[in-house]
Amino acid sequence: MTRVAIYARYSSELQQERSIDDQFALCRDFAARRNWTVTSTYADRAVSGASIHGRYEFQRMVEDASDRRFDVVIAEDIDRLARNQADGARLFERLAFLGIPVWTVADGETNEMHWGLKGTMSALFLKTHALKVRRGQAGRVRAGKIPGGLSYGYRVVRKTDATGELVRGEREIVEAEAEVVHRIFRDTIAGLTAREIAAALNREGVPAPRGGSWNASTINGSKKRGNGILRQHLYAGRLVWNRQHFVKNPDTGKRITRVNANDELLFADVPQLRIIDEADWERVQKIMAGKSSGHAAQAKRKSPHLFAGLMKCGRCGRSYVSAGGSKWPRFLCAGRREAGICDNHRTISARIVEQCTLGAIERDLLDDRVIAEVVREYAHERKRLKASRVEAHRRPGALARSNAR
C-alpha cells in the first residue's frame, strides 16, 4: 500500500475557505486513479507561500515525513508547497533524502527541473504582484485618496461611483476625535509634556486611538517613521505616503520595517481633511524638533538592558521599563511613567534584578541533577535521529518512486 499525504494552502483571507476542500478533492481523485491510499492531510489557511515560517501544518508535514508516516506527497501545484525558491529546494532535497517523492496534479512526479523553473516563476510573480499593488496605491494617493489604514480623527466613507463600484480611500473627520487632536496640540504649545497629556486623557476616560489607554509614545510617535498624533501630516491637510517598506527576514519569516529616503515620499494636498491650522502645526513641529535634538546624544548611548521587557507590573500588568542612562538604571512601571494609569511607584535597580535572576539560574539550572537529565535527553534524541536516518538509507528514493508508480 502506498501511503499518501496531501498538502493544501491558500494565501489570502480574501480567498474562500472552500479552496482547501477543492484542493483536497482534486488530490484525492489524483491518488485514487493510481490506487494510492490517502492517510494524512495538511492545510494552511490564509498563509503566504513566500516563507515556511508561520505555516504550522507544513512544518508538521515535514516532521511526519521524518517519522516515515507516508510514502508520497501530493499537492495541487508546486506553488502550494512553496513560492520561495530556497524553501522549495530544501523541501525537495529533504524529501528526496527520505525517499519520499513529491507529485502534483499539474505536473505529475516533480524533479529538480520543476522546482527550479516553477520556483523562479513564483518568485517573479510575488515581485510583480507587489509592484502592481504599490503602483495602484500611488495612483490613489495622487487622486487624494487614502491608500492605507484609518488614522485617529477620521472615519471611512462608504460610497459607490456611477458604475456601482465601491470608491476606496475616502475619509471624513470625526468631530469628537478631532477635538481631542486639537486639545493635544494646544496642550503641547502650552508646554505640557506628552506624558502629562496622556495621563490627563486617561484620568478623564477619553478613549485612545486603538482602545486601552493613552501613552506618551501615542502622542509623540517616531520622528524617523513620521507617526504619532503630533507628527501626523494628515491633520495639516497633507497626505504623505511611502514612508516605509517591509522586507521579510529569511531566518524568522517576520516582516521588518525599513524607512524610505525622503526623495521616495509622495505628497498630496487634502484640505478637506485638515484638522489643525498651519500656524499651530508649525509651532508644534518646532517644539518636537527641539525635543529630538536634545535627546539625540542620550539615545545614541542608550542600549537595551538584559531584562528589558521581561518584567511586568503586579498592579496593572504593564511592562517594567528602565529609566536613566547609567550602567545600572532603575526599572519602573510603564503604566505609571508613560500613561499615568498605575499607582505603583515601586522601582528596582537593574543591579538587583541581575543578581537575583542570574543567581537563581546558576543555582537551579547548573545543578548536577539538572545537567544529568539534559544529557540523558540529548542522548535519547541523538539515538532517535540516528535510527531515522538508518531507516531512510534502507529505503532509497529510487525504490520509493518505483513503488509509487
pLDDT digits (tens, 9 = 90+) for 288-312: 988 765 554 454 445 566 777 788 9
Grid cell digits, residue 46: 490564509
Residues 110 and 193 in one domain: no
Examine residue 152 and state whether it is found in any structural domain, yes or no.
Answer: no
Residues 291 and 380 in one domain: no
Predicted confidence band of residue 58 (pLDDT cuts 50, 70, 90) = very high
| Domain boundary pick from 251, 267, 300 | 300
Share of the chain above pLDDT 70, in %: 89
* Packing angle of the helix pair 85-97, 56-66 (nearest 10 deg): 20
Residue 401 has pLDDT above 50, yes or no: no
**Average confidence (pLDDT) over 56-83:** 93
Q: What pLDDT score was predicted for residue 84?
A: 82
- Among 90-99, 102-111, 251-260, 281-290, name the one with the lowest average pLDDT: 251-260
Burial pattern 166-178, b for ≥16 Cβ within 10 A else e, equals: eeebebebeeebb
Residues 285 and 349 in one domain: no
User: CA 91 to CA 100: how far, in whole Å?
Assistant: 11
| Domain boundary pick from 300, 317, 332 | 300
Examine residue 263 and state whether it is found in any structural domain, yes or no.
Answer: yes
User: CA 7 to CA 2: how far, in whole Å?
Assistant: 16
Instruction: Spell out where 185-337 has E strands.
Output: 238-241, 244-248, 255-259, 266-269, 320-323, 330-333
At 256 the three-state DSSP class reads: strand
CATH number of 123's domain: 3.40.50.1390
Q: State pTM to two decimals.
A: 0.61
Q: Compare 346 and 137 and report the one with higher pLDDT.
A: 346
Predicted confidence band of residue 66 (pLDDT cuts 50, 70, 90) = very high
Residues 287 and 360 in one domain: no
User: CA 230 to CA 284: how far, in whole Å?
Assistant: 7
Q: Compare 78 and 262 and report the one with higher pLDDT.
A: 78
Residues 271 and 317 in one domain: no
Q: What pLDDT score was predicted for residue 285?
A: 93
- Among 126-140, 258-272, 379-393, name the one with the lowest average pLDDT: 379-393
| The residue type at 344 | N
| The residue type at 167 | V
Contact 99, 399 (CB under 8 A): yes
Q: What pLDDT score was predicted for residue 253?
A: 65
Predicted confidence band of residue 397 (pLDDT cuts 50, 70, 90) = very low
User: CA 367 to CA 364: how far, in whole Å?
Assistant: 6
Q: What pLDDT score was predicted for residue 396?
A: 46
Residues 198 and 296 in one domain: yes
Tens digit of pLDDT for each residue in 80-106?
A: 998 888 888 899 999 999 999 999 999
| Domain boundary pick from 282, 300, 318 | 300
| The residue type at 183 | R
- Tally of residues, the chain: 405
Structural domains in the chain (count): 3
Residues 285 and 187 in one domain: yes
Tens digit of pLDDT for each residue in 190-214?
A: 999 999 999 999 999 999 998 889 9
CA 253, 257, 258, 263 torsion-angle sign: positive
Measure Cα distances from 111 to 30, 87, 93 in Å: 18, 15, 10
Predicted confidence band of residue 390 (pLDDT cuts 50, 70, 90) = low
User: CA 169 to CA 174: how far, in whole Å?
Assistant: 16
Tens digit of pLDDT for each residue in 114-161?
A: 888 887 887 787 778 778 877 887 887 888 888 878 899 999 988 887
Which residue segment(s) compose the domain that 365 sits in? 302-388
Grid cell digits, residue 271: 484640505
At 23 the three-state DSSP class reads: helix
Residues 198 and 115 in one domain: no
At 77 the three-state DSSP class reads: coil
Element (H, E) at 14: none
Place of cell 527520505: 98
Q: What pLDDT score was predicted for residue 297?
A: 45
CA-based R_g, the chain, Å? 28
Q: What pLDDT score was predicted for residue 250?
A: 67
Examine residue 35 and state whether it is found in any structural domain, yes or no.
Answer: yes
User: CA 285 to CA 267: how far, in whole Å?
Assistant: 18
List of residues 6+ apart from 152 with CB closer than 8 A: 177, 180, 181, 209, 229, 232
Examine residue 164 and state whether it is found in any structural domain, yes or no.
Answer: no
Residue 395 has pLDDT above 80, yes or no: no
Residues 194 and 287 in one domain: yes
Q: What pLDDT score was predicted for residue 325?
A: 61
- Among 56-60, 191-195, 222-226, 276-280, name the one with the lowest average pLDDT: 222-226
Grid cell digits, residue 237: 491637510
Place of cell 537593574: 350
Print the SS3 string covering 219-281.
Answer: HHCCCCCCCCHHHCHHHHCEEEECCEEEEECCCCCCEEEEECCHHHCEEEECHHHCCCCHHHH
Closest CA relative to residue 9, chosen from 39, 35, 43: 43
Examine residue 170 and state whether it is found in any structural domain, yes or no.
Answer: no
Predicted confidence band of residue 232 (pLDDT cuts 50, 70, 90) = very high
User: CA 5 to CA 281: how far, in whole Å?
Assistant: 61
Share of the chain above pLDDT 90, in %: 42
Examine residue 166 and state whether it is found in any structural domain, yes or no.
Answer: no
User: Which residues are 96's β-sheet partners?
Assistant: none
Examine residue 323 and state whether it is found in any structural domain, yes or no.
Answer: yes
DSSP 240: E
Residues 259 and 209 in one domain: yes
Closest CA relative to residue 307, chosen from 260, 254, 353: 353
Residues 293 and 313 in one domain: no
Residues 291 and 331 in one domain: no
Q: What angle is formed at CA 364 by the lines to CA 361 and CA 367, rounded to 5 degrees? A: 115
Measure Cα distances from 126 to 79, 92, 120, 252, 270 in Å: 11, 21, 10, 19, 32
User: CA 102 to CA 81: how far, in whole Å?
Assistant: 10
Contact 167, 160 (CB under 8 A): yes
Tens digit of pLDDT for each residue in 330-344?
A: 899 989 888 888 999
CATH number of 197's domain: 3.90.1750.20
Examine residue 157 and state whether it is found in any structural domain, yes or no.
Answer: no
